[in-house]
A and B are shown apart, each in its own frame.
Chain A
């Protein structure tokens, strides 16, 4: 059968965009190959490791098991969208640096997106709850402690900022 393409219109990191996409492409294929969003890592490609996690309409999805054509009309965020125009790191990205939550770095963008999703709820979670909420991301280097430290720190910072108004 001849390649089948479809025009997909969506918002990527706050900017509206559209492109002709091969219907067989996964979202991670499209973000990496058509939009050069290389923070979206392809790890297991079967939805186990979470390295390809992106936000779609505020919820986390493994972009490796999501068809690119399904983002039609939706709002997609990758870690590129968290960083400022001038390259300034967002609070959660900076916390990962400060807390030494990064070793090889391959899992990091996925972890940051999962963290961002829960941080946006502006609620206080226990470390056990944070572990459950980050359970869809695997890290083979850090042993998770520093990752949870980084998320907990940013959570407290945001709650404090909110309390101050």
Chain B
């Protein structure tokens, strides 16, 4: 038995929004793989919950007319990985998400929950950020869309106003078309482990594959929340591909990041990893995109 005061099961999105108005202290539960475990630890014991798990209308991946990939917030990691739209246009997201937990965790965990819990180690966070993803939120005042980068405020805190639900993650055509991505997770184990660091890079090469036209690099656990690395991106944007450029890119990462010492790894080790992983991921992207270094 879970120690909860009450469970309100939403029957539609509108019903969920109404329940959240009616019970302003209730927390929202999606797949529950964070919330239920916290309850076991006694952290969220005795609280009220609005469960949105049964809302199939919040599941599924669609490609809209303008080429935007819309991932319903309740879509499980497994379903994101298996989606043909994801496999065809943003395989890097499937690569990243397939490193989460184990099969059972990927079947219950949702991409919305993975971003709403505001955790820096979320395996989807860095990749979504490197794809310039946006967050669609719905509340009593209607729908708003904000960049994922602005969605993260601080550890455990995201920009969801009282009474709002995260409906979907959106990846615009400009975010993925022509880009090639690569994700590296550094952890102690190959499964059932939380990232010591996660690195996601997306590049767009020139037609002759000699120049990096654009590059987006994002890290998880390189700071309090998942983050983009603007100075490193600036170093390679518009530059011709060379070995020296790879090293310059790696060195430039240091200015953007702010890793901490935790029991998983010391700050110094993380700084070393960040440089190494950023360079490896960039090299992998270039190779995958048909370029040579």
Contacts and interface: CB of A to CB of B under 8 A. Distances in A.
B7 A4 contact: yes
Chain B interface SS verdict (over half):
mixed
Which 4 A-B pairs give the minimum distances between C-beta atoms?
A136-B102, A135-B191, A136-B104, A23-B7
Interface in B1-17: 1-7, 9
Contact of B102 (A4, A26, A72, A135): A135
B54 A70 contact: yes
B191 A136 contact: yes
Interface string A129-142: 00011111100000
Contacts, number: 85
Contact of B105 (A117, A133, A136): A136
B78 interface: yes
B40 A62 contact: no
Contact of A29 (B1, B3, B191): B1
Contact of A59 (B1, B54, B107): B107
A61 B1 contact: no
Interface stretch (B31-39, B176-184, B272-280): B31-39
Given A1-B6, A136-B191, A24 B1 contact: yes
A118 to B, nearest CB: 8
Contacts of A12: none
7 contacts: A1-B6, A26-B2, A47-B33, A134-B103, A136-B101, A136-B102, A136-B103
Contact of A65 (B3, B32, B51, B102): B32
B107 A61 contact: yes
B284 interface: no
